[in-house]
Every structure is written in C-alpha cells, then in structure tokens.
C-alpha cells in the first residue's frame, strides 16, 4: 500500500467515526425529546405535586381527622406553625401553615415570630405553604395589603418551593392581586347556598360567576385561583344562620360551575371540615348521610378521580 492509499483510508475512517458520533447524538436527542418532562429533581420544601395536579384541603382539622381526610382523598391539612403539629402530619400529606389574620385583625404571628417560623419550616418537606390572610378587607384597613406583601416576599426569598396563599371574598380585590402583593395563590369563597328557609330549593350559583368576574377585573389570573367549596351550613351555630348545607344535587351544581370557571386549579378548598361555633355547623365532617346530605362520598369521588 502506498502512502497516498494509507492517507485516503485514514481520512475515510475518521469521517466514518464523525458520522457515527453525529448519528448517536441525534438518536439520543430524539429519545430524550420523546420522554415526558418531569421537572427538576425535588428539593426540600418543594411541594410534592405534578404540573396540572390539584392539591386538596378541608379546613379546620386536627390530627384525629387525618385518617378520614386521607380516605376522602385530601392531601393537605391546615395547622399552626408548631413543631409538634407539623411533625404529626402523616406521610402522603403536607401542611398549609396558618400564620395569617382575619379581615383587619391581628396576624397569628407577629413579624419576628413569623421570621422564626419561616426559618424553621421554610425548607421542611412536610410544609406545602403559608396561609397569610383570610378575607383581608383593604377598604377598612388598607395597610393589610402591605403586610401581606412583606410576608409573601419573605417566603419567596426564604422558603423555596413553598406557596403563599390568601383567601378573598366579595370585597375590593384590586390591591390584593398576586402581582401587587406577591402571593402565589388566591382563594375565592362565594357560598351560594344562602338566604331564608323559603329560598332553600335554589342556591344562587351565579354568586360564583360574580366573584370570579370580580377577580378577573382586579387582575387575578384564573390559573392562580383556588376555589373554596361550600361544605357547611349554619343550622346549629350560635351566630349567623344565613347559610344552609347544600343538598347533593345543589353541591353537584356548585362543583360543575367551578369546573367550568376554574378547571384543574392548583388548589381546591373545602370549607369547612371542623365545626366553628359562630360560623359553621353542620360541616363536611357531619355530611355523611342520614341527618345531613352525603357530601363526603361526592368529595371522595372527586378527590380520588383527579
């Protein structure tokens, strides 16, 4: 073999190696593109959820309720920022920490106590997020928006992967949008089964539409809306008696309307599981049939199917 033939064979071999490497790289990229994206690896503090999955919570619960809640398909519980309570959240569930205020009242934790709580729980995998305010009323106390913003920013900086949450009612919302106060999710709590005993055949389902339109007008993205479902009445409260427990048919209508307006929300809330002397009695804990409509079986089917 002369030198020219040897050079030709060496060049041909090198070209074949380059072509083979390129083919393998193309095949690898094609295979990777066909795999479903599962997001970054989980880190401490990252909620255990997949894109598009709805997290579900029934409010006002205690440790003795957790087995029943899990059987009904709930995967979140509300607790105070207490180490023993957080440690008691069972496997497969996470905590939404109540650290907030109601309307214009004081916050559950003052600022320094709040900072300590975030330092302690901001990377705890048992914690899903932080409930910063329930029905804040910026008409009566405009300063509450700034305090929510301050706390939401602190969570964003010091609790990676955990969410900040507020729940709104049909009061002015424009100062409380995610863009203005920095929260991740906003609950909307229209309770359509309300009125005198003579009206109980018909819940005002349009109340849901009206509150969602208020949120739209204020600038709250639908993707950040968390529906609050009415699972309570007031027949046995010591306070207001405006609301009644929805019947099964009425509750199905409530669910259908929310499914139309906010399909596949990141979070869905049932209010309430536990009784509240002034506000909620009976509740979902009572609603298993017999004396009260069986809403539990409807929620079990809903929670476990989605």
DSSP string, 166-220: EEE-SS--GGGSHHHH--SEEEE-----BS-GGGTT---THHHHHHHHHHHHHT-
Asked whether residue 57 is assigned to any structural domain, the reply reads: yes
pLDDT at 12 over 80: no
H or E element in which residue 4 lies: helix 3-34
pLDDT at residue number 7: 41
* Predicted confidence band of residue 50 (pLDDT cuts 50, 70, 90): low
Give the range of the structural domain holding residue 85, as residue numbers without chain letter: 46-189+205-228+261-275
Q: Is residue 235 part of a domain?
A: no
Ramachandran bin of 226, using left for φ above 0, alpha for ψ from -120 to 50, beta for the remaining angles? beta
Domain membership flag for residue 29: no
Residue 250 falls within a domain, yes or no?
Answer: no
- 26-63 CB burial, b ≥16 within 10 A, e <16: eeeeeeeeeeeeeeeeeeebbbeeeeeebbbbbbbbee
- In the predicted model, what is the mean pLDDT of residues 172-195? 98
Q: List the CATH number of the domain containing 184.
A: 3.20.20.80
Q: Do 302 and 73 touch, CB atoms closer than 8 A?
A: yes
Average pLDDT over residues 211-236: 98
Q: Kindly state the DSSP code that residue 40 receives in the 8-state scheme.
A: S
Q: Which residue has the tokens 């509300």?
A: 78
∠ CA 194-198-204, nearest 5°, is 35
* Overall domain count for the chain: 1
Residue 196 has pLDDT above 90, yes or no: no
Local confidence band at 108 (pLDDT 50, 70, 90 cut-offs): very high
pLDDT, position 218: 98
Q: Compute the mean pLDDT over every residue in the chain, rounded to the nearest whole number.
A: 87
When mean pLDDT is compared across 23-37, 68-82, 278-292, the lowest value belongs to 23-37
In a domain, 5, yes or no: no
In a domain, 222, yes or no: yes
Kindly indicate the confidence band of residue 110, based on its pLDDT and cuts at 50, 70 and 90: very high
Picking from 128, 16, 28, the residue whose alpha carbon sits closest to that of residue 76 is: 128
Residue 17 has pLDDT above 70, yes or no: no
306 confidence band (pLDDT: 50, 70, 90): low
Indicate whether 255 belongs to any domain: no
How far CA 169 is from CA of 197, 236, 237, 258, in Å, comes to 23, 23, 21, 15
Q: What single DSSP character describes residue 81? A: S
Band (pLDDT 50/70/90 cuts) for residue 239 is: confident
């Amino acid at each position: 073999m002369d030198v020219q033939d040897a050079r030709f064979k060496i060049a041909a071999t090198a070209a074949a190696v380059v072509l083979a490497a390129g083919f393998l790289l193309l095949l690898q990229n094609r295979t990777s593109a066909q795999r479903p994206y599962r997001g970054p690896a989980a880190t401490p503090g990252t909620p255990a959820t997949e894109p598009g999955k709805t997290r579900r919570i029934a409010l006002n619960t205690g440790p003795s309720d957790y087995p029943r809640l899990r059987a009904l398909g709930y995967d979140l519980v509300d607790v105070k920022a207490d180490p023993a309570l957080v440690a008691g959240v069972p496997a497969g569930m996470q905590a939404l920490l109540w650290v907030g205020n109601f309307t214009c009242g004081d916050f559950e934790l003052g600022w320094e106590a709040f900072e300590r709580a975030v330092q302690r729980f901001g990377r705890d995998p048992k914690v899903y997020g932080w409930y910063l305010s329930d029905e804040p009323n910026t008409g009566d106390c405009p300063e509450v928006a700034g305090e929510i913003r301050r706390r939401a920013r602190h969570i964003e900086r010091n609790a990676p992967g955990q969410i900040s949450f507020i729940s709104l009612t049909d009061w002015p919302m424009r100062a409380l949008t995610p863009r203005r106060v920095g929260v991740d999710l906003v609950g909307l709590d229209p309770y359509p089964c309300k009125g005198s005993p003579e009206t109980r055949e018909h819940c005002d389902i349009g109340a849901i539409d009206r509150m969602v339109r208020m949120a739209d007008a204020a600038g709250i993205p639908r993707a950040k809306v968390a529906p609050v479902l009415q699972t309570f009445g007031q027949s046995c409260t010591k306070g207001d008696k405006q609301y009644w427990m929805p019947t099964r048919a009425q509750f199905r209508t409530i669910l259908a309307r929310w499914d139309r307006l906010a399909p596949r929300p990141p979070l869905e809330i049932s209010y309430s599981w536990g009784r509240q002397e002034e506000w909620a009695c009976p509740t979902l804990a009572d609603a298993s049939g017999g004396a009260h409509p069986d809403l539990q079986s409807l929620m079990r089917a809903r929670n476990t199917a989605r």
